[in-house]
Each structure stands twice: as C-alpha cells, then as structure tokens.
Amino acid sequence: MKTLTKQDMLDYVTGAVILGCGGGGGADWGITMIEDAFKKDLEFKLVDISEIEDTEMLCILAGVGGGVTQEIRDKVAHYHEKVNLGSEGRLIRLRKAAEELSKYIGKDFYSYIASETGGGNGVLPMYLNAIEGKPSVDGDCCGRAKPEIALSLTNVAKMPVTPLAMVTPFLETLILKNSVDDIRGEDITRNVAIASGGSVTVARCPGSIKEYKNAIVPGQISLCIKIGKAIREAKEKVSEVKEEFIKASDAIQVFEGKVTFFSMEGKGGFNWGDWVIEGLGKYAGHTMKIWFKNEHLVSWLDDEPYILCPDLITIVETESFEGLSNFVEDKTHEGKTVSVFGIKAHENWKKPAALELFTPPHFGIDIEYVPFEKARL
C-alpha cells in the first residue's frame, strides 16, 4: 500500500483523460475533487488487489449519464432550485449511494472501485475512499471509458450488476433489486438519469475481492499516473512529449491532421457524434473518421474500417498534448490540429464472451472486429 501525492493524482487525471477515449468524465470534475480532498488533509491510498483478503467486499461507484435534450433540461430545472445541495452535493450523493447499497446487502465495503478510466469517473470512488479513510484498489473495471454500464469486465466475469443503488441530483433514492441482465440494468439506470436531467450517481456490482480479481484491469491507476507523469516531465524538460507518451502507454500513432468536422448531439442520456480529420504531413491526402457514443468507438481510414472498440482510440491536441473530450458543444474541436493514437485493449477484452459484448455490432454497426494488433497500421 502506498500514499499518493497531490501531483500523483493530477498526473492520474492527465493520463486518464487520454485513456478515457473522449469520455469518462471531465478533467475539471476530477481536479475539483482532488483539490477538495487535499484542502481537507485527506489521503489517497493505493493498494494492489492481491494484498486484500478474498472475502472483503467492493462495489463500483460512478456517475451514469450523458446528453439530454433541452426540453428535458428545462423540465427539471426548477428541481435544482428546489433541492440545492450546494458545493457538497456530489459528496452527499456519493455517500448516499454507497450507504444505501451497503445497507441493502447488509455488508460493509472495504473500498469503492471505478467502473472505467476517466478524469472524473476514475477519481470519483477514490475521492469517497479518501473521505472514508479507505484505500483504493489499483485498477478499474474497463481499462478505458465506455458508454454503457453493461460494457464492463464485471459483466464478462458474470458478476451481476444488481442490486444497485441510484441517487438523483435531487436526492431521490432508488434500489434496483434485480434485472434480467446487465443490459436491462443499463436501460433502467439510463432512463432514471434521463428523467433526472442527464445524470445519476450509482453504486453497483457488490462483490468479493475474489470475484473482482477476474473483473478488473489491474494496475490501471498506476498506469495513468505513469502516463501523466511522462507527459508532464517531458513538457518541463522541453522533450518530445509524443515519444514519452508512447513509451509510457504502448500507444501507436495512427493519424495526425486537422479537424474539419465535429458534431455532437446530446440525447437519450448519451453524447453522439462524429469527427472528420484531414491528414497532415505523412498522412496528407488521407481522411480519418471517428464515431462516438460518449467515447470513441469506431474509426475509418479513407472509408475503410480501422481501429475498433474495445481497442482504444485516443485523440490529443497535438501542440498541448491534452486529451480531447466529446462532452463539449457541437463544432468545438473544428480547426484543431490533433494526433490520434491506438492502444490495444486489455487481454480480458479479447475473450470470446467480451468480444460478443463490446465490438461494433453491439452498436448496430455491421463491421467485423479486427484486433488492433492485426490492423493495417
């Protein structure tokens, strides 16, 4: 077990935003929680899952949601005035979700773990762990960010998503005792998020350490810190940031160019859209297109399928080398010069059951999955 410094946590956010593939919660959200924790003299402790007794319990703690129409936002606007939780609102909802699930199953949690890698959702359970004096397990349940709660290594490991506890921004609390499967659990949870203006705080997948050993990407927090540190130190030394990032992450650059089109539409509790990038330098004369549902999921090079989920498609602004988010306004990224990298998904995503769950056909896109390591780079 080790104690993370404030710089470690900020480095985590830098790395997690990039590995979040355009989603996973914004850096500002994560940094706000980090600043608050250190202002309160709290400690972020990190532990390897192998150091914990198999009988101890974990649960996933995350925000669920995304874009909704203006009509829905207007419909719930007055509830924000009616139930104003102030600056502590996020913490109140986190605690309530965790407490309600713990109370329902009749067991205490050793710790809370992230559903995905991301600047916000990655920090969120670590924040509550720090508040409650608990260590955080060095890992998360995806190794990237993903748009649906069913797209989780807990699902691949056949750990049920229920029971789960939901807390809306207005402190309404719901317990979903059971669901037919994780996809049904996703649909129910997503609709609560939509009815709440686009977001809901969820504690889910209560299980033992023994079960979670087969359901996480171990070392993911340390990896993000390593990536963030490599980028920061390269900038400080005026080194080649891209090369240091590649060394730290095992990423491969697959494109560079100017964003000529960026569309984003918020609906159904997700952010949907496309990137079109016209190549520069050695990529001149080529075009990359990327489709996202919260996160980058499918890409095409010159209209031919290229990097595909569950493998990671990451986009950074070339000059600043900051990960770019899909949780922005329509057309925000147009005109930017960007670099695109591919990273092989964790080996747990290459199992047959996982590939049935998290490849383009799941999203209604008729493309056969080709692993990143076999793609025509």
* H/E run at residue 197: none
How many DSSP H helices and E strands does the chain contain?
A: 11, 17
Residue spans in the chain of domains classed CATH 2.40.390.10: 249-374
Collapsing DSSP to helix, strand or coil, 27 comes out as helix
Q: What is the pLDDT of residues 339-359, one digit of tens each?
A: 999 999 999 999 999 999 999
CATH 3.40.1610.10 residue spans of the chain: 2-218
How far is it, in rounded angstroms, from Cα 144 to Cα 340?
15
249-374 folds as: CV3147-like (2.40.390)
Burial of 3 (0-12, 13-18, 19+ CB in 10 A): exposed
Record: fold of 2-218 = CV3147-like fold (3.40.1610)
Report CA torsion sign: 169, 174, 175, 179: negative
Q: Looking at residue 193, what is its pLDDT?
A: 94
Cβ atoms 205, 161 nearer than 8 A: yes
pLDDT tens-digit map of 8-65 = 999 999 999 999 999 998 899 999 999 999 999 999 999 999 999 999 999 999 999 8
Tell me the pLDDT tens digit for each residue of 306-349: 999 999 999 999 999 999 999 999 999 999 999 999 999 999 99
Q: Compute how many other C-beta atoms are within 10 angstroms of the C-beta atom of residue 133.
A: 9
> How would residue 81 be classed by pLDDT, with cut points 50, 70 and 90?
confident
Q: CA-to-CA distance for 36 and 301, rounded, in angstroms?
A: 43
Half-sphere exposure of 124 (CA within 13 A, CB side): 33
